Structure 1
């Protein structure tokens, strides 16, 4: 705003009304540039101290595991699948010692009958209100926990919708994120199966077996290519028939949203950088499939 005011004033002094108009326009450009630089610096949160950043990271960490625990208990008891999923998540984050104990404590707190998901997610939303990418990542992590056994129960789905609502994410976008994660889950399974087939094929020493397996492999690959592309499109949040331009735009947008360094600077705990990296890798892999 000050750029417009000062630009108009100086422009009027030197060029009367024509100068004022030109000064207003130049001031507008200055304000716009200043705002972009300010936002890149983190807005007003960019003035926070390192201690404030640590507090936000601690809140993300504890809230994330507490809500995960609550969702895992939604069907009355925490299944072995959910326990393994939580442990695998902690392994992915390389949590050991006190850090792992804190994660386990937060996870267990979410299982208590007096746990308030509205209060927990509300506090999180208040702390990260201007960090939409982090709010979405928080939701994606909860979907990952709920989907750890390969399907969603009605109670899990109901809780996820509540989390989305308390985060301020609309129902339409929630469905978009959920569909994207389900596609990502299937896409990862498909990639793992393909890699397993490759390893099995290369382990055969007989030329005849190699030739037969190669033929079968080509047939299986040809049959699964369309399926892979279908899932790859869904990972990017796109439908069949999406143009190259739409694919590239969706890829760049998702990569920007899940950029680990940017998310850490906004309050994502460094331990959770691996989570963001894994999501970026899935997005990258899906894009590579669609480029072929």
Structure 2
């Protein structure tokens, strides 16, 4: 399918991972859309979706981020076919069916291997894409690891390459969590609050700070333009800090 999977991997990883370094495949051009009327389970597009279904359901549930990534994938793949709407619906049907059982995972991998037998780099990129799906909720369960490892083995991915990909994702999300923790710590500092404060205390602190730094109130006190500008920036920081804390606490 004229490197369609490689293109999808580059685009989706760029938007979903938001910073995970991967190739953009800028030189790949798909000028001709494919017309396909056969069984998509004999096509690498359908086989990719089938494996995504296994990985997404590996830990027993499909997270919101996983569902979003799947939705984008259905759309992106189908757009490279003349009969795009029909293909999209078929891909969705494959996903619904294949997420119900893991029994045929190796069989699917064997079919995909036959199609990509002479393109090891593509198989590695497919595995990278599947691992990104597994990691996207920032939790990589033991079940997800086992399924990913089985897929890698069946696709005849070298153990070192598999471990290298896992380490890359581990490091990326570890760094992301660390940055998020630092941001949250700063947010509490801005809001003059503590992580143990309840929602009422946080709201009280927020309102107090808004009254202190609201540019309209500061202007009414006869402050200079510079002070008003500083108050405007401070208020923005307070609002952003409060929103981040609320999100972290599910308020």
* TM-score normalised by structure 2 residue count: 0.49
Structure with more of its chain in helix, by fraction: 1
Q: TM-score, normalised by structure 1?
A: 0.43
